[in-house]
Structure 1
Amino acid sequence: MKSNKPLLIGCLIFPLILVFAFGVGFCSGFQKMSKGTSVPSNAWLTLDLGGTVPDYNELQSSGLLGSTVPATEDLVKRIIHAAKDKRIKGLLITPGFFDINYVNLDELNRAIQTFKKSGKPVLAYADVLSQKDYMLCAMADSLWLNPSASGGILLEGTAANILFYKEALQKLGIKMHVMQSGDYKGAGEPYTNTELSAGTRENLERALKARYEGIITNIAANRKINPSTVKKVFEERDDLFISADYAKEYGLIDHAGNWDEFCKHYNITKKSQVRIKNYQPHTTVEKQDQVAVVYLSGEIAMDLGSPFKQGISSAKTQKIVKSISQDKSIKAVVLRINSPGGSALESEIIYQQFKDLGRQIPVVISMGGTAASGGYYISCAGQHIFADAATITGSIGVIMALPETKELGSKLGVRSQTIRFGKFAAPINLFETYDPEILASFRRSSEAVYTEFKQRVSDARQIPLSRIHEVAEGRVWSAQDALDLKLIDAIGSLEDAIAKASSLAKISDYSIRNYPSQTTLFQVLREEGIFSTAGTLIKTRNTDPAEVMKQTLLNGFSPQEWLYRCPWHLE
Structure 2
Amino acid sequence: MPAVPLVLELELNTPLITSPPQDPLSAVRARNRTHLSDLIEGLRRAAKDPKVAGLIAQCDGGTQPPAVVQEIRDAVAGFRRSGKPAVAWARSFGELGPGTTGYYLATAFDEIWLQPSGDVGLTGYSARAVFLREALDRAGLQPDLSQRHEYKNAADMFVRSQFSDAHREALTRIVESTGEQVFDAVAAARGLSTDRLRNIVDGGPLSATDARDAGLVDHVGYRDEVYTAMARRLGGRMRLRYVGRYNHAAGKAQILRLPVHRSRGNVAVIYGKGPIAVGRSSASPFSEGSIGADTLSANLRAAAADKNVKAIVFRVDSPGGSYVASDTIRREILLARRTKPVIASMGSVAGSGGYFVTMCADVVVASPATITGSIGVVGGKVVPKRLLERLGIRVGSVSTGAQAGMFAADEPFTQEQWEILNGWMDRVYDDFTAKVAEDRGLSREAVDDVARGRIWTGADARDRGLVDELGGLSTAIRIARDRGRLPDRDDLSDVQGYPKVPFLERLRPAESSQSPAAASSSLNPWGTLAHLATALGLPAAGPLSMPFVPSV
Q: Do these two structures clear the TM 0.5 threshold for a shared fold by scoring above it?
A: yes
Which of 216, 224, 228 is matched with 2:183 structurally?
216
Shift of 1:42: 0.5
The question of whether the paired residues in 2 share the 8 Å contact of 1:223 and 1:252 is answered with: yes
Q: Letter of the aligned partner of 1:189 in structure 2? A: D
User: Which residue, out of 116, 141, 147, partners 1:174?
Assistant: 141
Displacement, 1:523? 6.7
3-state SS, counterpart of residue 453 of structure 2:
coil
Q: Which secondary structure state, in structure 1, belongs to the residue aligned with residue 123 of structure 2?
A: coil
Q: Rate the CA distance shift 1:96–1:558 in 2: closer, same or farther, 3 A.
A: closer
Structure-to-structure mapping, 1:376-387, within 5 angstroms: 376-387=355-366
Tell me the SS of whatever aligns to 1:128.
Answer: coil
Match of residue 232 from structure 1: 199
Residue 252 of structure 1 corresponds to 216
Q: In structure 1, what is the equivalent of residue 96 of structure 2?
A: none
Q: How far does residue 527 in structure 1 lie from its aligned partner after superposition?
A: 6.8
* 1:42-68, Cα deviation, whole Å (9 max, x unpaired): 021011233221322235999955724
User: Aligned to 2:349, what secondary structure does the other structure show?
Assistant: strand
Task: Say whether residues 1:515 and 2:478 are aligned partners.
Answer: no
Q: Is the 8 A contact 2:538 2:547 kept in 1?
A: no
**What is residue 332 of structure 1 aligned with on the other side?**
311
State the TM-score, normalizing by the size of structure 1: 0.82
Aligned with 1:73 (options 28, 37, 46): 37
Deviations 1:149-185 (A, max 9, x none): xx22222321111111111111111101111111211
Q: Comparing 287-296 with 115-124, which one deviates more in the overlay?
A: 287-296
Q: Name 1:12's counterpart in structure 2.
A: none
Look up the match of 2:456.
Answer: 477
Q: Which has the larger radius of gyration?
A: 1
The SS at the match of 1:51 is: coil
| Aligned amino acid, residue 442 of structure 2 | I
Tell me the TM-score normalised to structure 2 length.
Answer: 0.85
Q: 1:361 to 1:295 in 2, by over 3 A?
A: same
In structure 2, what is the Cα distance between the partners aligned to 1:331 and 1:514? 12
Contact 2:378–2:539 (CA under 8 A) maintained in structure 1: no
**Match status 1:298 vs 2:274:** yes
Structure 1 residue 428, shift from structure 2 partner: 2.3
Equivalent of 2:114 in 145, 155, 168 = 145
Q: Which residue of 2 aligns with 1:545?
A: none
1:87 maps onto 2:51 in alignment: yes
Question: How much has 1:373 moved relative to structure 2?
Answer: 0.9
Q: CA 1:483–1:259 in 2, change beyond 3 Å: closer, same or farther?
A: closer
Paired residue total: 513
Displacement of 1:478: 2.4
Partner of 2:91: 127
Q: Secondary structure at the match of 2:102?
A: helix
The reply to whether residue 392 of structure 1 matches residue 377 of structure 2 is no
Identity fraction in percent? 27
Which ranges in structure 1 are unaligned for 5 or more consecutive residues? 1-39, 542-547
The Cα shift of 1:305 comes to: 4.0
Identify the residue that residue 42 of structure 1 maps to in structure 2: 5
- Which amino acid counterpart does residue 314 of structure 1 have in structure 2? A
Q: Distance in 1 between matches of 2:360 and 2:373?
A: 15
Q: Once structures 1 and 2 are overlaid, which stretch shifts more, 123-132 or 403-412?
A: 123-132
Supply the distance in 2 between the matched residues of 1:554 and 1:153 (Cα, whole angstroms).
30
Match of 2:515 in 1: none
Compared with structure 1, are the counterparts of its residues 112 and 465 closer, same or farther at alpha carbon in structure 2 (3 Å cutoff)?
Answer: same
Structure 2 residue aligned with 1:373 = 352
What is the match of residue 57 of structure 1?
20
Deviation at 1:271, TM superposition (A): 6.9
Q: What is the one-letter code of the residue matched to 2:14?
A: G
Aligned to 1:102: 66
Give the letter for the 1:199 counterpart. A
Report if aligned partners of 1:287, 1:509 keep a CA contact under 8 Å in 2: no
Query: Where do residues 184-199 of structure 1 align in structure 2 (5 Å cutoff)?
Result: 184-199=151-166
Shift of the alpha carbon at 1:115? 1.1
Query: Does 2:342 correspond to 1:358?
Result: no
Opposite residue 219 of structure 1, the aligned amino acid is V
1:415 aligns with 2:394: yes
In 1: Cα distance, 2:10 partner to 2:129 partner: 34
The CA deviation string for residues 323-378 of structure 1, in whole angstroms up to 9 with x for no partner, is 21232121112222222211111111111111110111111222222222111111
For the residues of structure 1 that align with 2:313 and 2:45, how far apart are their CA atoms?
22
Report if aligned partners of 1:127, 1:145 keep a CA contact under 8 Å in 2: yes
Letter aligned with residue 70 of structure 2: D
Correspondence 1:205 to 2:205: no
**Residue type at the aligned position of 1:333:** I
CA distance in 2, matches of 1:331, 1:124: 39
Q: Which runs of 4+ in 1 moved over 6 A?
A: 60-63, 268-271, 522-525, 551-555
Answer whether contact 1:59 1:518 (CA < 8 A) is retained: no
After superposition, the C-alpha distances for 1:120-141 in whole angstroms (9 at most, x for unaligned) are 1111222212333322222221
Corresponding residue for residue 468 of structure 1: 447
User: Aligned with 2:339: secondary structure?
Assistant: coil
Q: How does 1:21-40 map to 2 (within 5 A)?
A: none
